[in-house]
Structure 1
């Protein structure tokens, strides 16, 4: 993609306003917290303290809107406390230019590294730096600065208290994640009716798994219907694929195929009903036709062998899903306690508390201190740009020079498309927001309390629209800051000129920094593909090894390998998405090769999943040939991954030799030999994709 096209695409993306379901009640609660803090501060301390405390409450509320599975009060308190510390340290050094610049460099560099712990931590850390640049200009003494820091933290406390006192749909994010996973399974079942080898995106299951991790406090309060259903959804997916696939199931035509389609449609209806019940905390209402289709005794007469076992397994798992999805208090109408729910006996995934999280974040940040890390490059970029913007703001003939570095630190992200899109959106939103605020001020001439009320109103609009796009939110953020600082009598015309020009400078600095010191994803695509190949090879090898050493369907090594494969696949898909928008020509991996290799490895993983669906029970007769196949799969994919990284065409000689040795005496198992052939065909498609890409590049 050319630079011109990349700029056009990112600009369009940044200015796009998406249609999203709004949450006015949650936005009103956040605005209420801000209004309480501002009103109390104005009445008791005056406009300067009110402005500082308002930033604390404003940022704490934004933290509660982040996509995080931690309790919302915890996020609000963490945001308020960290911003209070940043503000106080900033004021202690702001009178000494060199010392403050050193603190700004250090603080911004650390905020850049914080992205290693995830976007929530990164956003809070970046916002702390941006708001610190504003709040350090408000106090006039160390004692006043300490008071401002206390009020900033108080703003976080108020927002946390309101979340506790005025709960809105508790556990809503976790409910949605689990319901989305079940709904994705339902959609998969419907697609399998028409396409027996349809692909499945594991992201909903991964999101649900992340949402299932709870802190000790959450574990004591989690609703019973959020136990167990995710694990059942994980086990249903391979059963659905096994039932539908002609390679291990039934022919593509005939009465057996019609029965399979009927079972898949019924399974989709049941899964949708369970998803709806979990999402809304209601009893499960099953459609009678689906229940009748699943209970009919004709299944045993029509289906035979592996397909019959898959059908019976599917019916049993769906029954467990329905039972788990039923909301319970202490006991159900049938007398079953929450402890008897499927999956309840399993150890809950534990999420560390904030105290225990600190060394984990430090370890992740230290792991990024390497030359090839995009997080380290982001930290270097953002700290250098923020310092340059601060110095430029001090030299240029404008007031409020902090707007340039504040803009830079708020728009910069570790990847190209977000940085450029947010830069355009920030400038456009600021231009519109400042113009609107100026028009209101010049026409209404609001006094102190009316300015505060308008600021709260703008904050409400920002909370309401923040998920519809960055540009929409920035319109009201800019107006919010104008009204808030206007409480101290800042000139409006000066505000317009300063804000617009310095926002433009800050955005241009951010864009220029990424162009000069980029962290392109395009050259790393082969490495991401190699990681996925190696991980999916280990998964297939772990599954195959269980045929030689039966340990039952719940083998922990198979489960761990599957999770690693999903993580590698998502990392590959995210890398491809980022590379699509980069102004960089491909280096050995064309768009066509990317799509073909993606399809081939997805098919390889699907075949391994089918083999997992038919793992022998513990104590079953071992298949000795499976050990040889597992070892050849492991060697072949590890060597193939190494070849992909080195830009060579991978070969699969180990696996091919194993299959050739079976030509006269294949293993006595209905799936093992067939599965091995399908795995080799998928790997050959990977080789074809990479070979064609290399030839196209040579031409």
Structure 2
């Protein structure tokens, strides 16, 4: 993609406004906390101190809107405390330009590294530095700087207290994550009725897994319907795929296929009902037709072998989903849901609930974050490049803003800091949105100020109104949020007595300087994803090969194998797949050449690795019981898969095409032993092994550019 086209695409994405579900109650709660803090500050202190407290409350409320699985009061407290420390250090060094500049560079560098701990940590750290640039310009003495830090912390405490006292939809984020995962599987079941090889995006399951990790205190207060459903949902997905896939024994048409379609439709209905119940905290309301379809005895007659086992497992798993999602309705509603669950489970099997995942407390999280940041201190790290880039830009922007005769020079470094992200497209898109939002926000706020000449009280009211609009509309688009936050800063500083003489032109020019510095810095010192695509692809190949090998190895000695290695390999495969997809999406907007991996090769190899994962998943759905006959040839094939995919990943990174001779040789030996009677004939694992080899060979053909492109609908996992 050329630079001109890349700039055009990123500018369009930055200015995009989307229709999102608004959360007015949460927005009102955040604005009420800001108004309360501002009112107390004006009543007990002067407007300058009140402005500091308002910044603390404003930032703490924004922190509660971030996509995080930690309790909202904790996010508010962390935001308020970290901003108080940043502001205090800024005040103590603000009188000495070299000392403050050194602190600014160090603090910004650490904020850049904080992205290694996740998006929420990076956003809070960057916002703290940006607000510190504003708060330290408020007139005060060194002695009073502790008062300013204390009231900023007080703003975070107030927002945290309001979240506790006036909760809005407790566990809402976790409910949505689990409900989205179940709804995604319901949609998958319906699509399998028409396309037995339909793909499935594992992101909803990964999100639900992240949301399921809880601290010890959260585990004691977690609603019952959020316990166990995710683990069962993980098991349902391979069973659905196995039931629909013709390779497992059900023909493409006929009575058996009709029965499978009926079961898939019923599964989709049950999963949708469970998703609605979990999302809203209501009892499960099942469709009578879905229950009737799942309990009909026709399954025993029409389906045999692997499809019959899959149907029985599906019934047991769906009944467990109902039991964990039924909620706390009336006794009659609970009895009805329990009866439906028992009806579905009648011919099935018990599925033990998995223990909850543990999330470290804040104190135990500190060494984890430090290790993550230290791990990025290596050459070639995108996070390290971002930290160096943003600290240099903020320092240069601060010096330029101080040198220009406009006053309020913090607008330049603040704009640069708020738009810069480790990724190219987000940085450029946000820079354009920041500039456009600043023009509108500053123009509106300045026009109101010059026409109405508001006093302290009216300025405070206008700032609270802008904050309310910010909280309400912030998820509709970055440009909308910038209009509100820019006007908020203008009104709040005006309330504190800051000079109104700075014109719209001067503020916009300083914002433009900051945005241009951010954009130039990425062009001069970039961190492109395009050159790393082959590495991401190799990681996915290695992880997918390990998962396939772990699954095949289960058939070698069923009584001696555990499933922990399979689960670990599956999670690694999902992480590698998502990392590849994110890198590919990022690379498509970068003004960089393909560097050895064309778009066609990327699409074809992605399809092949998705097929590799899908076949391994089908084999996982038909794991043998402990007393099943061992298949020694499966152990040799598993070892061949591990070695070949590890070597193949290395060859991909070195721009070579992998060869799968070792896997072909292991399969040839297996077939030879079956012909001589030395090996047991297991059609499920042997057919699956052949499909695994086909997927690997398709990968090599796609990388070499000799295969035909696959339609997008064939994506699978």
Distance in 1 between the 2:452 and 2:168 partners? 35
| Aligned twin of 1:312 | 312
| Aligned twin of 2:143 | 143
| Aligned twin of 2:111 | 111
| Aligned twin of 1:204 | 204
| Aligned twin of 1:186 | 186
Residue by residue over 1:632-652, the C-alpha shift from the partner in whole angstroms, topping out at 9 and shown as x without a partner, is 111111111110010001111
Mapping of residues 253-332 of structure 1, within 5 Å: 253-328=253-328
Residue by residue over 1:222-259, the C-alpha shift from the partner in whole angstroms, topping out at 9 and shown as x without a partner, is 00000000000000000000000000130101110011
| Aligned twin of 2:544 | 536
| Aligned twin of 1:671 | 684
Which of these residues, 667, 686, 704, is aligned with residue 691 of structure 1? 704
Is 1:246 matched up with 2:246?
yes
Q: 1:650 to 1:185 in 2, by over 3 A?
A: same
| Aligned twin of 1:651 | 659
| Aligned twin of 2:28 | 28
Unmatched tracts of structure 1, length 5 or more: none
| Aligned twin of 1:564 | 572
Mapping of residues 167-182 of structure 1, within 5 Å: 167-182=167-182
The Cα shift of 1:631 comes to: 0.6
Between 405-414 and 551-560, report the one with greater CA deviation: 551-560
The Cα shift of 1:619 comes to: 3.1
On the 8 A contact 2:64/2:75 being kept in 1, the answer is yes
Distance in 2 between the 1:551 and 1:350 partners? 29
On the 8 A contact 2:283/2:334 being kept in 1, the answer is no
| Aligned twin of 1:228 | 228
The Cα shift of 1:617 comes to: 1.3
Is 1:52 matched up with 2:52?
yes
Distance in 1 between the 2:180 and 2:397 partners? 43
On the 8 A contact 1:553/1:612 being kept in 2, the answer is no
Distance in 2 between the 1:624 and 1:42 partners? 79
| Aligned twin of 1:601 | 609
Between 439-448 and 169-178, report the one with greater CA deviation: 439-448
Mapping of residues 436-585 of structure 1, within 5 Å: 436-551=444-559, 555-585=563-593
Q: Helix, strand or coil for the counterpart of 1:649?
A: coil
The Cα shift of 1:34 comes to: 0.2
On the 8 A contact 2:178/2:208 being kept in 1, the answer is yes
The Cα shift of 1:418 comes to: 0.4
| Aligned twin of 1:635 | 643
Q: Helix, strand or coil for the counterpart of 2:251?
A: coil
On the 8 A contact 1:482/1:495 being kept in 2, the answer is no
Q: Helix, strand or coil for the counterpart of 1:663?
A: helix
Distance in 2 between the 1:188 and 1:692 partners? 31
Alignment root-mean-square deviation, CA: 2.0
Q: Helix, strand or coil for the counterpart of 2:73?
A: helix
Q: 1:490 to 1:343 in 2, by over 3 A?
A: farther
Size of the aligned set, in residue pairs, is 693
On the 8 A contact 1:228/1:343 being kept in 2, the answer is no
Distance in 1 between the 2:560 and 2:298 partners? 28
Distance in 1 between the 2:264 and 2:426 partners? 40
Distance in 2 between the 1:478 and 1:107 partners? 23
Distance in 2 between the 1:659 and 1:77 partners? 59
Mapping of residues 380-459 of structure 1, within 5 Å: 380-459=388-467
Distance in 1 between the 2:303 and 2:177 partners? 34
On the 8 A contact 2:231/2:353 being kept in 1, the answer is no
On the 8 A contact 1:533/1:641 being kept in 2, the answer is yes
Distance in 1 between the 2:508 and 2:330 partners? 58
The Cα shift of 1:662 comes to: 3.0
Distance in 2 between the 1:349 and 1:668 partners? 39
Q: TM-score, normalised by structure 1?
A: 0.97
Q: Helix, strand or coil for the counterpart of 2:258?
A: helix
Q: 1:361 to 1:540 in 2, by over 3 A?
A: same
Distance in 1 between the 2:126 and 2:330 partners? 44
Distance in 1 between the 2:518 and 2:188 partners? 42
The Cα shift of 1:552 comes to: 9.0
Q: Helix, strand or coil for the counterpart of 2:247?
A: coil
Residue by residue over 1:560-616, the C-alpha shift from the partner in whole angstroms, topping out at 9 and shown as x without a partner, is 110111011111011001101101010110111111111100000000000001111
On the 8 A contact 1:83/1:128 being kept in 2, the answer is yes
Distance in 1 between the 2:559 and 2:47 partners? 69
On the 8 A contact 1:521/1:575 being kept in 2, the answer is yes
The Cα shift of 1:90 comes to: 0.8
Distance in 2 between the 1:85 and 1:154 partners? 12
Residue by residue over 1:175-210, the C-alpha shift from the partner in whole angstroms, topping out at 9 and shown as x without a partner, is 000000000000100111111011110000000000
The Cα shift of 1:333 comes to: 5.2
Distance in 2 between the 1:693 and 1:434 partners? 57
Distance in 1 between the 2:366 and 2:444 partners? 42
The Cα shift of 1:19 comes to: 0.6
Between 271-280 and 303-312, report the one with greater CA deviation: 303-312
